Amino acid sequence: MMRCRRSVAWAVAAVIALLAGPTAEAEDLTLADPSGNAVHWLEWIGANGPAAVLVWASWTPGADAAVDSLPDLTEAARAHGLKLVVVDVQEGADLAAPVLGRTAVPWLHDRHGAILKSYRLTRVPILIVVDRAGEVLGRLDPTLEALRGWAPP
């Protein structure tokens, strides 16, 4: 019985640590731009941040609604002094390009979901707010209401 309680306690601690977010410096991930050129995340966010990052994939529930809200999310991000960017994850860029390519929002591609691992994200789509150093300032539902209601820490 004691061994079972200890296992449960460790499992709960692991889940809490996972959901708590990164505790170390942000990783310099290698993503790709729509043309397939390598993009170093920390360099990109340093030049373009702070940003509201919509982590997205075409195959997820809510993907269409998130894309439909991109113009409004762009304005809400701008009101907070943020740039909106979409990071497409865990699929070929050929699936994202027809959808994201017709929007005015910049997007990057992360074929293997490294951003999910780096920022310990457990769902997609999700909106994260990151500073110029790549550190997470907020994790939000990918909705206009959530971004409008976000307050910097």
CATH among 3.10.620.30, 3.40.30.10, 1.10.357.10, 3.30.2320.80 for 25-149? 3.40.30.10
Q: Is the pTM for the entire model greater than 0.85?
A: no
Please choose, from the candidates 87, 81, 68, 88, the residue with its C-alpha nearest in 3D space to the C-alpha of residue 137: 81
> What is the full per-residue pLDDT of the chain (153 aa) written as tens digits?
545 444 444 444 344 444 444 433 578 999 999 999 999 999 999 999 999 999 999 999 999 999 999 999 999 999 999 999 999 999 999 999 999 999 999 999 999 999 999 999 999 999 999 999 999 999 999 999 999 999 998
Beta strand segments in the chain, E: 30-32, 38-40, 51-56, 83-89, 107-110, 126-130, 136-140
How many CB atoms neighbour CB 18 within 10 A? Answer: 11
Beta-carbon contacts of 93 under 8 Å, excluding residues fewer than 6 positions away, are: 32, 34, 36, 109, 111
